[in-house]
A and B are shown apart, each in its own frame.
Chain A
């Protein structure tokens, strides 16, 4: 469907592009989640969105300077990510794709773990059992099945819909508009529906899969994609952090309490390139990019906060926090160094393995022989 048709699909928007808060009556059920928030929460949303953007700028610079092998920008998607990230409960599990740096921020992931991976030091390597934020998945859609299986396990463990609300758990799986074309995503809807699994499918429709526009992945609005499998869905304005928060919070609560799977399509825009290897000027117009920049998620929340009486000092504080973070990660990235060779041979199997032991030994001897020859 065309961008114009897409724009006519109803979606949950609680904060207009000029920062006006209002709840249309058809979305009244989401209002209470915003009413529960304090000023500190709104400020936290903004601060994290600002940090996420500054992180992106710094990581892009680090890539351009040869410090990272690749960077995957998420500029423009701060509202979708910070809002939904805070809508996830403290026992819930999160399955990202590879662009969810903002969600990582909301769950306290050390951003250096992400940079290490993009530098090529390791393939991830953080502990998902501890962080509840699972490893980045590079092959599109694969993680959605893992999330679904995990959610089935949560249900088998009896951690769904119990009277002890604080003990219940749910799962959120992130993916993009491009990934919806993968069979694994459709199979995930099916397995989640037939198992009535506690999972929210959070699709960030940033409208571009590298150079392919969303209308090459679908001819119907994506939030309807799950319905044929028994997974109802809704579209939200992904550049509205409040809608992203409230809708995610409600449907994660519902999933945790036994409501079954649900799909959220967050309509947003990938303002930057797909990755630092991409050149979006070859396939899209600057007018389109400008249109979406005018709907920027940070500007929108800033306007709202200024209306609430928040002044310059707060925004200066956020800038300073971003600068401090950037200085810190820059220094840490330069200090990362090279991983030890033996890392390559580790954790391929859980027990010693004859081929790997033999090949590691061979490489050690070979390396030692080269050192000997140089003397």
Chain B
């Protein structure tokens, strides 16, 4: 029998990090304000008391320095969990992530590995000021050498952070910040599938909705509303944006013949763009309708008073469902 505990996503990430820190004394946690404060979202709360300042410490406010030194620590045999305080603050570290972290294993012909996890609270819906609501995952999914994942629920949060820390490759771990306080059951004994496996959360047969991170809850809500109207939606939680588990998506599309992909990020050259291209290529004869992308608009993330109109909601997903059902 498994041991289940109810936790929020934030607490589950915290518990997963502590487990990883217990299991491997080379795991370090650092970033801006992560120690005494426990991070601006309190995701690292209590870790300082439990593990002390040699395992978790505040970094100077210098994102390139945070990732650049994490690379050097990896060369020395440490596994770093580096927090970038907000999505919009990751860009000073972009060079170290894409030109160094992603490439060093390849550059060294495998002599060096880069076990670095970059935790990034991301996405909107919290009424924040500019740079605090962005979804930059596609930049990193485009870069060979990186792994990019996002949990949508506490059980995945607890296990996927541990899987990310255990990986020898760099992992961008995007945390759906508006869902941090969403609670759910965590199975402390048995991990779910690997962090790169998509999961069907709701079975259906008329159309498939694929989403990840904060949009999974929206997709599930859309499926409930659709069911009341007699439309059966299959909801897939992608969990991983690089690599993407195309097999699970295509298996579903072979059943439903229709696919809508939803995320908060701007739609142009996004995760949904790649999925639309792949599904068209690999399941063309199974499609009854074009793949429709439901994402943020191709504008800078708007001021908080307008974000409700920027972010896709259940109605926008259902509007797309109406379109794919119309073919």
C-beta contact mask, A179-201 vs B, less than 8 Å → 1, else 0?
A: 00001100110110010000000
User: How far does the Cβ of B111 sit from chain A's closest Cβ, in whole Å?
Assistant: 4
Do A145 and B78 touch across chains, with their CB atoms under 8 A apart?
Answer: no
A interface residues, how many (CB within 8 angstroms): 42
Do A148 and B108 touch across chains, with their CB atoms under 8 A apart?
Answer: no
User: How far does the Cβ of A190 sit from chain B's closest Cβ, in whole Å?
Assistant: 5
Q: Which residue of A lies closest to B114 (CB)?
A: A350
Report the separation of the CA atoms of residues A96 and B144 in the bound assembly, to the nearest whole angstrom: 25
Do A184 and B64 touch across chains, with their CB atoms under 8 A apart?
Answer: yes
Once A128-B112, A148-B72 are accepted as A-B contacts, the answer to whether A184 and B96 lie under 8 Å apart by CB is yes
B77 within 8 A of A: yes
Once A125-B109, A348-B106, A350-B105 are accepted as A-B contacts, the answer to whether A149 and B76 lie under 8 Å apart by CB is yes
Within 8 A of A (CB), among B64-109: 64-65, 68-78, 92, 95-96, 99-100, 103-109
Report the separation of the CA atoms of residues A40 and B28 in the bound assembly, to the nearest whole angstrom: 46
A32 within 8 A of B: no
Q: Which residue of B lies closest to A122 (CB)?
A: B109
Once A184-B64, A348-B144, A349-B105 are accepted as A-B contacts, the answer to whether A153 and B72 lie under 8 Å apart by CB is yes
Within 8 A of B (CB), among A158-175: none
Q: Which residue of B lies closest to A151 (CB)?
A: B72
Do A146 and B100 touch across chains, with their CB atoms under 8 A apart?
Answer: yes
Do B71 and A146 touch across chains, with their CB atoms under 8 A apart?
Answer: yes
Within 8 A of A (CB), among B136-185: 144-145, 147, 167-169
Looking at the complex, which of A13-21, A64-72, A134-142, A299-307 is the stretch in contact with chain B?
A134-142
Do B73 and A145 touch across chains, with their CB atoms under 8 A apart?
Answer: no
User: How far does the Cβ of A347 sit from chain B's closest Cβ, in whole Å?
Assistant: 4
Partner of B100, one of A139, A153, A157: A139
User: How far does the Cβ of A310 sit from chain B's closest Cβ, in whole Å?
Assistant: 41
Report the separation of the CA atoms of residues A154 and B246 in the bound assembly, to the nearest whole angstrom: 42
Partner of B78, one of A122, A127, A151, A153: A153
Q: Which of B77, B108, B112, B246 has the most CB of A within 10 A?
A: B108
Partner of A191, one of B60, B92, B96: B60
Report the separation of the CA atoms of residues A330 and B250 in the bound assembly, to the nearest whole angstrom: 54
B113 within 8 A of A: yes
A291 within 8 A of B: no
Once A139-B100, A348-B144, A350-B113 are accepted as A-B contacts, the answer to whether A149 and B107 lie under 8 Å apart by CB is no
Report the separation of the CA atoms of residues A264 and B115 in the bound assembly, to the nearest whole angstrom: 32
Within 8 A of A (CB), among B30-88: 54, 59-60, 62, 64-65, 68-78
Q: Which residue of B lies closest to A123 (CB)?
A: B107
A147 within 8 A of B: yes
Once A156-B78, A187-B64 are accepted as A-B contacts, the answer to whether A125 and B69 lie under 8 Å apart by CB is no
Once A125-B108, A128-B108 are accepted as A-B contacts, the answer to whether A354 and B243 lie under 8 Å apart by CB is yes
Within 8 A of A (CB), among B181-215: none
C-beta contact mask, A267-306 vs B, less than 8 Å → 1, else 0?
A: 0000000000000000000000000000000000000000
Please, which residues of chain B bring their CB within 8 A of the CB of A134? 75
Do B107 and A157 touch across chains, with their CB atoms under 8 A apart?
Answer: no
Report the separation of the CA atoms of residues A145 and B67 in the bound assembly, to the nearest whole angstrom: 9
B326 within 8 A of A: no
A355 within 8 A of B: yes
Do B73 and A135 touch across chains, with their CB atoms under 8 A apart?
Answer: no
Report the separation of the CA atoms of residues A188 and B68 in the bound assembly, to the nearest whole angstrom: 9
A152 within 8 A of B: yes
Do B108 and A347 touch across chains, with their CB atoms under 8 A apart?
Answer: yes
Q: Which residue of A lies closest to B67 (CB)?
A: A145
A361 within 8 A of B: no
Do A148 and B68 touch across chains, with their CB atoms under 8 A apart?
Answer: yes
Do B68 and A142 touch across chains, with their CB atoms under 8 A apart?
Answer: yes
User: How far does the Cβ of A340 sit from chain B's closest Cβ, in whole Å?
Assistant: 12
B230 within 8 A of A: no
User: How far does the Cβ of A332 sit from chain B's closest Cβ, in whole Å?
Assistant: 18
Once A125-B109, A350-B113 are accepted as A-B contacts, the answer to whether A184 and B76 lie under 8 Å apart by CB is no
Do A191 and B106 touch across chains, with their CB atoms under 8 A apart?
Answer: no
Q: Which of A129, A149, A353 has the most CB of B within 10 A?
A: A149
Report the separation of the CA atoms of residues A356 and B29 in the bound assembly, to the nearest whole angstrom: 31
Do A145 and B69 touch across chains, with their CB atoms under 8 A apart?
Answer: yes
Do B109 and A149 touch across chains, with their CB atoms under 8 A apart?
Answer: no
User: How far does the Cβ of B104 sit from chain A's closest Cβ, in whole Å?
Assistant: 8
Once A148-B69, A191-B69, A194-B60 are accepted as A-B contacts, the answer to whether A346 and B109 lie under 8 Å apart by CB is yes
Once A142-B96, A142-B100, A149-B73 are accepted as A-B contacts, the answer to whether A347 and B109 lie under 8 Å apart by CB is yes
Report the separation of the CA atoms of residues A89 and B95 in the bound assembly, to the nearest whole angstrom: 31
Once A188-B65, A190-B62, A350-B167 are accepted as A-B contacts, the answer to whether A145 and B113 lie under 8 Å apart by CB is no
Report the separation of the CA atoms of residues A191 and B95 in the bound assembly, to the nearest whole angstrom: 18
Report the separation of the CA atoms of residues A285 and B218 in the bound assembly, to the nearest whole angstrom: 67
C-beta contact mask, A187-227 vs B, less than 8 Å → 1, else 0?
A: 11011001000000000000000000000000000000000
A232 within 8 A of B: no
Q: Which residue of B lies closest to A137 (CB)?
A: B100
Do A150 and B76 touch across chains, with their CB atoms under 8 A apart?
Answer: yes
Do A146 and B75 touch across chains, with their CB atoms under 8 A apart?
Answer: yes
A259 within 8 A of B: no
Chain A residues at the B interface, C-beta cutoff of 8 Å:
122-130, 134-135, 139, 142, 144-154, 156-157, 183-184, 187-188, 190-191, 194, 346-351, 353-355
A–B pairs, 17, beta carbons within 8 Å: A125-B107, A135-B104, A145-B68, A145-B71, A146-B71, A148-B69, A183-B64, A183-B92, A184-B64, A184-B95, A188-B68, A190-B60, A346-B106, A350-B113, A350-B169, A353-B243, A354-B243
Chain B residues at the A interface, C-beta cutoff of 8 Å:
28, 54, 59-60, 62, 64-65, 68-78, 92, 95-96, 99-100, 103-113, 144-145, 147, 167-169, 243, 246
**In the A-B complex, the 7 residue pairs with the closest CB atoms:** A149-B72, A145-B68, A153-B76, A149-B69, A187-B65, A150-B72, A350-B168
List 13 additional contacts besides A128-B111, A184-B96, A187-B64; criterion CB under 8 Å: A135-B107, A135-B108, A145-B71, A146-B72, A147-B72, A149-B71, A150-B76, A156-B28, A184-B95, A188-B65, A347-B110, A349-B169, A351-B168
